[in-house]
Amino acid sequence: MRGRLVAGNWKMHGSRATNPALLDAVLAGVAGLAGVECAVCVPFPYLSEASARLAGSKLALGAQTLSEFRSGAYTGEVSAAMLADFGCRFVLVGHSERRGLFGETDAQVAAKFAAAAKAGLTPVLCVGETLAEREGARTEQVVARQLDAVLDLSGAAALAGAVLAYEPVWAIGTGRTASPQQAQDVHAFLRARVAERDAGVAAKLRILYGGSVKPGNAAEIFAMKDVDGGLIGGASLVSEDFLAICKAAVSKG
């Protein structure tokens, strides 16, 4: 039985004035939840304060990206070791906004994944197709290419300590969600792709769905066989919504 995971991705939202109330409300809610692991990925400047607030709690801390380099003359970059230093457990790697808006390539994403794993963080590798790619029936080809870049560099064994997130680009922040069956189909495809290299790792791999997950649609998506939780953007900024989604992910098994 794979454990369930729900991770919030605050993206570039938050402030010192509003974060404490949001974090405290989520902390209070997850304290009573069993059967699901919950995490929040906050912007870099808030890691320190969030880390102090979350210490010893059931809410894990994550970051939204990292440098592929270990240390050195890389102005503006943040290393995996720095994230570990702040108590991060998770780090998103290759989110579609990083790929699409900041030009991250498959090779760079694979290097970031390797850097995160090496530092003992749990990388959450994000893959997903654009609307044009889906309409051109290229979904499997695209997510396979994104996944293979990591498998080729780090090997299937590296996925044993990682999480995969399927996030169709056309569903992110658009209010348009993949149907539970569309999500299931891609999740099953990804799991099978990993299984070609290592069946044991594939069976245990947690694959999250992300893209306009809300309290109203979470349960039906999480009910699918190969969906092990969610990566939540907009709804992670509202404590009641995020907690409702965490509750919907509680495993029944």
The reply to whether 94 sits near ligand PGA by the rule CB under 6 A is no
The reply to whether 124 sits near ligand PGA by the rule CB under 6 A is no
The reply to whether 232 sits near ligand PGA by the rule CB under 6 A is yes
To the nearest whole angstrom, how small is the minimum distance from the Cβ of residue 7 to ligand PGA? 8
The reply to whether 233 sits near ligand PGA by the rule CB under 6 A is yes
CA atoms of 105 and 112, how far apart (whole Å)? 10
The reply to whether 201 sits near ligand PGA by the rule CB under 6 A is no
To the nearest whole angstrom, how small is the minimum distance from the Cβ of residue 10 to ligand PGA? 10
Give the binding-site size for ligand PGA (rule: CB under 6 A): 13
What residues contact 207, with CB distance under 8 A and at least 6 apart?
163, 164, 165, 166, 187, 190, 191, 226, 227, 228
- A 10 A CB-CB count for 55 gives 9
The reply to whether 64 sits near ligand PGA by the rule CB under 6 A is no
Tell me the β-bridge partners of 38: 6, 59
CA distances from 31 to 19, 84, 193 (A): 18, 23, 36
φ/ψ of residue 31, rounded to 5: -55, -35
CA atoms of 98 and 82, how far apart (whole Å)? 19
- Which region among 105-113, 138-146, 206-214, 238-246 touches ligand PGA (by CB under 6 A)? 206-214
- Which region among 150-158, 178-186, 215-223, 232-240 touches ligand PGA (by CB under 6 A)? 232-240
CA atoms of 146 and 94, how far apart (whole Å)? 9
The reply to whether 123 sits near ligand PGA by the rule CB under 6 A is no
Residue 129 known to be catalytic = no
CB 122 within 8 A of CB 84: no
To the nearest whole angstrom, how small is the minimum distance from the Cβ of residue 196 to ligand PGA? 27
Among 37, 106, 167, 241, binds ligand PGA (CB under 6 A): 167
CA atoms of 99 and 112, how far apart (whole Å)? 12
Specify the residue, 144 or 238, whose C-beta has the smaller distance to ligand PGA.
Answer: 238
Fill in the per-residue mask, 129 to 148: x = in contact with ligand PGA (CB under 6 A), - = not in contact. --------------------
Specify the residue, 123 or 210, whose C-beta has the smaller distance to ligand PGA.
Answer: 210
Residue 13 known to be catalytic = no
The reply to whether 231 sits near ligand PGA by the rule CB under 6 A is yes
- The runs of H, that is alpha helices, within the chain are 19-31, 47-54, 80-85, 96-102, 106-118, 131-135, 139-154, 180-195, 199-204, 218-222, 239-248
To the nearest whole angstrom, how small is the minimum distance from the Cβ of residue 253 to ligand PGA? 26
To the nearest whole angstrom, how small is the minimum distance from the Cβ of residue 132 to ligand PGA? 18
Rg for the chain, CA atoms, rounded: 17
Residues making contact with ligand PGA (CB under 6 A): 9, 167, 172-173, 210-213, 231-235
Catalytic residues: 95, 167
